[in-house]
Structure 1
Amino acid sequence: MKKEFWNDSVVVITGASSGIGKALLEEIAVFPCQLVLLARRAGDIPKPEAKHKDTILHRITCDLADPSSVQDAIDWISKRIDRVDVLFNNAGITAHGRFDSLSMDVYQKTFATNFFGPIQLIRGLLPFLLKAKGNIVTTSTVSALYGVPGRAAYSASKSALHAALESLRIESLEEGIGVSLVCVPYTDTALRTSGLDAEGKRLAEAPAKGKRKSAKEVAHVLMKEAMDKEARLVTFNLSGKFLEWMRFFSPKFLEKILYKKLYNDFKTH
């Protein structure tokens, strides 16, 4: 990791209290920088195990689903920070359920956290990102690349965020900011135990089967992409690249694969 990039930088991380956000905090805190850490419960944001003596931590309560909470966070940052070198747009929520069983409340809550909240935060911090010619790095999912069965609300919210940020990237070509979308694979986080079921209740599912990345491994990739202004859509592994390419070349075949792989997630009971 190029320490020169992180030294004296101002880094904003959403969802900093757990999972990938916590891992980013742990990995970046070893550099002399300012870390602006956002979470719904700021008191849950941990003290990093290793921290440079000159690193400054700012813990801010911010619920992305609440516009007033997001605005409060923007106002707090605006009064204390003069630029943003990297924004890790990391916080998010999942929602599981068939299209015909998902309540509208689930769609609204999922979009509030995954789309409207991040858009409001990015808009509010954009002057500070432009000043630094900074980078926006979004923790996303391959579910944003195609409508995944049993994940309609989740796929739709992440796909919408992709489209909005791709527009921002093109509009900002002359301003020199970077906008990357990193589709992470299954990762050891609490995503499946803190999301929503079809009725809007707390999701309580077992972790995804198969090999999973650690939050630290994902954090390293996100940090790598933060240093690359040319990074755009980033997929981790073969399954991600497969979905990325097959959506263009053979969507019918892709849909058969998704149907078979995720049948148990959306079949009627």
Structure 2
Amino acid sequence: MNDFFKGKTVAVTGGSDGIGKALVTLLIQAGANVATCARTPQKLEQLKTLFADKPFWCVPADVSVYEDCKHFIEGAIEQFGCIDILINNAGISMRAELKDADVTVFKKVMDINYLGTVYCTKLALQSIINNKGTIVGVSSIAGYRGLPGRSGYSASKFAVNGWLEAVRTELIQEGVNVMWVCPGFTQSNIRNAALNEKAAAQGESPLEEGSLMSSTECAQHILKAIEKRKRTLVLTFTGKRTVFMNKFFAALTDKLTYNFFYKKGKLIK
């Protein structure tokens, strides 16, 4: 990584785990001023200790709460003077079929994944416009292809993709780059924290985490795409294949997706 991020202020939501933590670490190493937020104060305290001598600021926040987002964004600007790049990374998943899921699952997922992105982007927008910066949404392949057992998650990521595309078009004359990133399955805590049918964390992953792309590798791809001011980034061969297949062979992809997630009529992934 060259000096692109050196001296720039980057705000990352959900920076205490997984892809978010990897982004924070790489950005600090690249010489950026980094602000982050997360819902777990203890994990943020660990980051404070780790980056005690670095230009790093963090605060507990739930991005589904507008006032928390306001406190985070305004605090970052007060701390560093501006925000050049906003990476909307905070998110939550779910694992429950529609017939079993309580409606609170869908509201919670949408509030965090979609409205959290809207709140933080709106609050940081003028600073980013002033600096002709970048807005990033960490979305998902589920934002291109609806996934069974994750219908609320897919809905939230479709919303993020469409919203960012609209915002990108609105800002086309402002010198601001808007990008949405769609990792495939990546090593992170998101599946352990995914909501079950009762809106509680399921506490386990249905996937072989060790075989997935690492959070650090994913973060490296994201930062490289930011530097190149890309429009979209779809990661992993499986992710790219899924987007292609769903666009041109949708009915077949329905069947292939079902066969991947189900065994003998039971959701297994």
Using structure 1 for the length normalisation, give the TM-score: 0.91
Shift of the 170–265 alpha-carbon distance from structure 1 to 2, 3 Å rule, reads farther
Q: Which residue of 2 aligns with 1:227?
A: 227
Q: Which residue of 2 aligns with 1:96?
A: 95
Q: Distance in 1 between matches of 2:267 and 2:116?
A: 32
Q: Which residue of 1 aligns with 2:55?
A: 56
Q: Distance in 1 between matches of 2:33 and 2:43?
A: 19
Q: Which residue of 1 aligns with 2:214?
A: 214
Shift of the 172–265 alpha-carbon distance from structure 1 to 2, 3 Å rule, reads farther
1:179-202 deviations in Å (ceiling 9; x for gaps):
111111222211111120011121
Using structure 2 for the length normalisation, give the TM-score: 0.91
**Retained in 1: the 8 A contact 2:135–2:179?**
yes
Shift of the 203–177 alpha-carbon distance from structure 1 to 2, 3 Å rule, reads same
The residue matched to 2:218 in structure 1 has which SS? helix
| Counterpart check, 1:65 vs 2:64 | yes
Matches within 5 A, 1:159-178: 159-178=158-177
Q: Which residue of 1 aligns with 2:35?
A: 36
Aligned partner of 2:30: which letter?
F
Q: Distance in 1 between matches of 2:175 and 2:237?
A: 31
The residue matched to 1:58 in structure 2 has which SS? strand
| Unmatched runs of 5 consecutive residues or more in structure 2 | none
Aligned partner of 2:169: which letter?
I
Q: Distance in 2 between matches of 1:184 and 1:72?
A: 29
Q: Distance in 1 between matches of 2:12 and 2:29?
A: 15
Q: Which residue of 1 aligns with 2:16?
A: 17
Aligned partner of 1:156: which letter?
A
Q: Which residue of 1 aligns with 2:190?
A: 191
Once the two structures are overlaid, the 10-residue window that deviates more, 217-226 or 28-37, is 28-37
Q: Distance in 2 between matches of 1:95 and 1:128?
A: 33
Q: Which residue of 2 aligns with 1:246?
A: 245
**Cα shift at 1:77:** 3.0
**Retained in 1: the 8 A contact 2:137–2:160?**
no
**Cα shift at 1:48:** 7.8
**Retained in 2: the 8 A contact 1:137–1:225?**
no
**Cα shift at 1:67:** 2.2
1:52-81 deviations in Å (ceiling 9; x for gaps):
96x411111210122222222233234344
1:1-20 deviations in Å (ceiling 9; x for gaps):
122x1111001111111111
**Retained in 1: the 8 A contact 2:143–2:157?**
yes
The share of aligned pairs that are identical, in percent, is 26
Q: Which residue of 2 aligns with 1:263?
A: 262
Output the aligned Cα RMSD: 2.2
**Retained in 1: the 8 A contact 2:33–2:80?**
no
Runs of 4+ more than 4 Å apart? 48-53
Once the two structures are overlaid, the 10-residue window that deviates more, 97-106 or 78-87, is 78-87
Once the two structures are overlaid, the 10-residue window that deviates more, 250-259 or 240-249, is 240-249
Q: Which residue of 2 aligns with 1:202?
A: 201
Aligned partner of 2:147: which letter?
V
**Retained in 1: the 8 A contact 2:16–2:47?**
no
Aligned partner of 2:81: which letter?
D
**Cα shift at 1:207:** 4.8
Aligned partner of 2:69: which letter?
V
Shift of the 27–207 alpha-carbon distance from structure 1 to 2, 3 Å rule, reads farther
Count of residue pairs the alignment pairs up: 266
Q: Which residue of 2 aligns with 1:153?
A: 152
| Unmatched runs of 5 consecutive residues or more in structure 1 | none
**Cα shift at 1:124:** 0.5
